[in-house]
Amino acid sequence: MTLEKAKQYKEVGWRSPGNLPWTPEVSLKSMDVAGIDFTMLSLPALSAGFVGEENRALARDRNVFVSQICQAHPGRFGFFASLPFLEDITGKSLNL
């Protein structure tokens, strides 16, 4: 975590874990110490942008990124999928 981010967190009263900046290896080490076999990953909801292909692509890219972490560490991570903005009713389903 950057010093600036830590300062912002302190100002608003947020406490963050000591595992930032986050990497899968940082989590795996913490999980092993705590005796945790499996954890779910979840990225924050998309909060900026516009309904459209760019937003759908961002959600898709985030899901691919996290799925690669899960594939690299089978049995250790699962994830909650990111969704494009819920107002996006014109987006097409992709068969990947």
The boundaries of the domain holding residue 1 are 1-35
Q: What is the CA radius of gyration of the chain?
A: 16
- Answer yes or no: are the C-beta atoms of 81 and 46 closer than 8 Å: no
pTM score, two decimals?
0.70
Q: Are 44 and 12 members of one domain? A: no
Identify the bridge partners of residue 77 per DSSP, sorted by sequence position: 39
CA distance 2 to 92: 38
Whether 90 and 68 map to the same domain: the answer is yes
Structural domains counted in the chain: 2
The per-residue pLDDT for range 8-64, each reduced to its tens digit, is 767 766 665 665 678 899 899 989 999 999 999 998 877 767 788 888 888 899 999
Q: Are residues 31 and 52 in the same domain?
A: no
Q: Are 55 and 46 in contact (CB under 8 A)?
A: yes
Mean pLDDT calculated for residue range 59-82? 95
